[in-house]
Chains A and B, each alone.
Chain A
Amino acid sequence: MSLIEVHNLTKNYQSGEETVEALRGVDISIEAGEFITIMGQSGSGKSTLLSVLGGLNHPSEGSVQMAGIDLYALSGEKRADFRSQKLGFVFQSFNLICYLTALENVMLPLAIAPMKKKDKIAAAQDALARVGLAAKTDRLPNQLSGGEQERVAIARAIVNRPEILFADEPTGNLDSKTSLEMMNLFRALNDDGQTVVMVTHNPENCDYADRTIHLRDGLVVSAA
Chain B
Amino acid sequence: MKLHNISFNNLRRRKAKMAFLTIGLTVGIATIVTLVTLTKSMSGDIERKMDEFGANILITPQQNGLAMNYGGISLGGVNFDQKEILESDLARISTIKNNKNISAVAPKVLGGVQISGHQVLLVGVQFEKELKLKQWWKLFGEAPKADHELLLGSDAAQVLNVLTGDMVQIKGEQFKISGVLDQTGSQDDSLVFAKLGVAQRLLGKAGRINLVEVAALCSGCPIGDMVLQIAEKLPDAKVSAIQQVVEGRLKALDQFRRFSYAMAGVVVFIGSLIVFVTMMGSVNERTTEIGVFRAIGFRKSHIMRIILLEAAVVGLLAGLLGFGAGMGGARLALPIMAEGKQVALVWDSMVAFGSLGLSLGLALTASLYPALHASKMDPTEALRAL
Contacts and interface: CB of A to CB of B under 8 A. Distances in A.
A89 B385 contact: no
A167 to B, nearest CB: 11
A87 B295 CA distance: 9
Given A91-B292, A97-B292, A98-B13, A112 B386 contact: no
B255 interface: no
Interface string A86-101: 0111011101011110
Contact of B288 (A47, A50, A95, A112): A95
A179 interface: no
B289 A97 contact: yes
A9 to B, nearest CB: 15
Nearest to A140: B13
A83 B289 contact: no
Interface in B1-46: 1-3, 5-6, 9-10, 12-14
B297 A93 contact: no
B269 interface: no
A77 to B, nearest CB: 5
A112 B298 contact: yes
Interface stretch (A35-43, A102-110, A128-136, A203-211): A102-110
A54 B291 CA distance: 13
Interface of B: 1-3, 5-6, 9-10, 12-14, 288-289, 291-302, 379-380, 383, 385-386
Nearest to A101: B9
A51 B380 contact: yes
A87 B291 CA distance: 15
Q: Which of B288, B301, B383, B386 has the most CB of A within 10 A?
A: B386
Q: Does more than half of chain B's interface fall in helix, strand or loop, or is it mixed?
A: helix
Contacts of A150: none
B296 A54 contact: no
Contacts of B288: 95
Given A98-B13, A107-B1, A111-B6, A81 B292 contact: no
B5 A111 contact: yes
Nearest to B300: A77
A159 to B, nearest CB: 10
B1 A110 contact: yes
A54 B386 contact: yes
Given A50-B386, A99-B9, A56 B3 contact: no
Given A111-B298, A117-B1, 16 more contacts: A47-B386, A51-B380, A56-B294, A56-B386, A57-B386, A80-B299, A83-B297, A89-B386, A91-B386, A92-B385, A95-B292, A108-B6, A110-B1, A111-B5, A111-B302, A156-B296
B380 A57 contact: yes
A53 to B, nearest CB: 10
A169 interface: yes
A85 interface: yes
A99 B1 contact: no
19 contacts: A47-B385, A57-B386, A80-B298, A81-B297, A83-B296, A83-B297, A84-B297, A85-B297, A89-B296, A91-B386, A92-B385, A95-B288, A97-B289, A104-B5, A109-B296, A111-B298, A111-B302, A120-B1, A168-B385
